[in-house]
Amino acid sequence: MQFPAGRTILLILVFAMVGSFGQVISIPNQTMPDQVVWTFDPSHLATYTRASGSQPPLTELHHQLTGRNVVVELMPSRALDARLLSLILANTRGRQVPDVVEIEIGSVGKYFRAAPDNVGLLPLDGFIAHDPAARDLLPSRVASWTHAGRVYGIPRDVHPVTLTYREDLFREAGIDLSACQDWISFRNACRKYQLFWSQRGIDRRAMQLSRWSASDLMILIQQQHITLFDHTGRPSLSSPALARTIAFYATLVAGDDAISSPVSSNVSARDLAEGHTAALFTPDWRIEYLRWDPDLLGKLRMMPLPRFSPDDARTASWGGTMVAIPRNCRDPEAAWQLLKNLQLTPAAVKARQYHSSIIPAITSAWEDPAWDDADPLYGGQAIGRLYIELSRELPEQRISPYMAAVSQTIAAVLSDAQAHLEKHGEAQLEDFCARRLGEEERRLARLLDFAEERP
């Protein structure tokens, strides 16, 4: 599916300025609002407040159905978290508290630190169980917003991850990358690709991968269903599969046979177009950024992720948004009606498809034939249908209050693994990673014990 990027690009630029000054943008109605929505993403704001072709904005449709005026406030994610958590801690009630709020996946753990009865968000299990509009939510995505057996948010998206590559450059090197269904053969094909171009005096790296953060590495971890927390929710890093995955990933980004090097931009479109890199992970939200560069038209192809074993998923999830209702909102029933009209109705699905190509977490929406549209950017490939197919395989991603600490710890072990690889080669690399993970697990346990002992 394709949509004009102009409106979203404008909003992103506005949002960047907002982030710089720490301000909040409101999209007001003519009268005092009856309900308030907080969002951190400009494309989400467009989905709610702008017309979708001939369809009026969702906020207007909600007003027609309920008589309630809605204002949508846009603010940076950190500012949103700070405001909402302060309202929760102060047990604030009334108009200051939003009726519906979006929370980015990296922030959700902050809200789950409290005991279940003290979480500042309203459990939605009752609404979900009794409202037909919620019956088609993807269970693996709902799991991400579940804590202590209670569902605290509706998934706005799925964000399945695929692999996008420059088919023309790999073909010129005599490589059919789509035939590489496992990570070992994929790594070997990428090394062959780099050798082909280096023999012709051209320095080209095969794939964009991060050396310094765990963002790309977490995709490989997630697709193998590797559990990072024990049954009590504490960090558990002693899995042999985790050590093996970090060791393998280190060979992709470090050493003489690395297939990746740092690139000059976050969105990667220009690096991909100029051939500095030839492949990258593509969650559905990243596709719109690639459309910005006309030199990529027709040169890209998309494939599922390679696997380590047949039991692995061919995808993972990167990013995500939980749509929640604060526990202290003025009218929970009215807030649920607003949430439903913005997220779960056919009109809400249509607005999302109009303003972005993000896969919704409502499985009945996947039957829309528009997902079968040929995409010129990908040489006519129906990438929407591939995303839908892979969404059915999405691994569960449980969110923990300690997720940020674990991610930083894995990044630190990865950094040490690269140093070990560059000094000693691949010999004993997996054992080194296992030993470092054990040390870090014990360190985290001591920190948690100390925190829990404090009054």
Residue type, 309: S
Instruction: Give the pLDDT score at 64.
Output: 97
Contact (CB, 8 A) for 394 and 325: no
Domains of the chain, each with CATH number or no CATH: 6-158+318-362 (3.40.190.10)
Regions of the chain with pLDDT less than 70: 1-31, 262-267, 451-455
**CA 316 to each of CA 8, 397, 451: distance values in angstroms, whole numbers, following the listed order:** 25, 9, 32
DSSP single-letter state for residue 362: B
What does the pLDDT read at residue 261? 73
Q: What pLDDT was estimated at residue 264?
A: 53
Beta pairing class for 35-39 and 70-74: parallel
The pLDDT value recorded for residue 453 is 63
Distances (CA, A) of 119 to 81, 129, 151, 427, 455: 14, 20, 11, 47, 19
Residue 115: which H helix or E strand, with range? none
In this prediction, residue 22 carries a pLDDT of 42
* Block residue for tokens 């990438």: 383
As a whole number of angstroms, the distance between CA 178 and CA 306 comes to: 9
The pLDDT assigned to 11 comes to: 41
Which residues neighbour 214 within 8 Å (Cβ) at sequence distance 6 or greater? 407, 408, 410, 411, 414
Q: Cα(239)–Cα(247) distance, rounded to whole angstroms?
A: 13
Identify any residues that bridge with 229 across adjacent strands, giving them in sequence order: 235
How many C-beta neighbours within 10 Å does residue 238 have?
Answer: 13
The helix/strand/coil state of 97 is coil
Q: Report CA dihedral (384, 389, 390, 393) to the nearest 10 degrees.
A: 150
Tokens of 316: 């993972």
> Can you say how many angstroms the Cα of residue 309 is from the centroid of all Cα atoms in its chain?
24
Decide the pairing of beta strands 146-147 and 154-155: unpaired
- Which H or E run contains 432? helix 429-453
Instruction: Report pLDDT digits (tens) over 334-371.
Output: 999 999 999 999 999 999 989 988 999 999 999 999 99
Cα 3 from Cα 288, distance rounded (Å): 8
Helix axes of 403-424 and 240-253: crossing angle, nearest 10 degrees: 60
Position 141 scores a pLDDT of 94
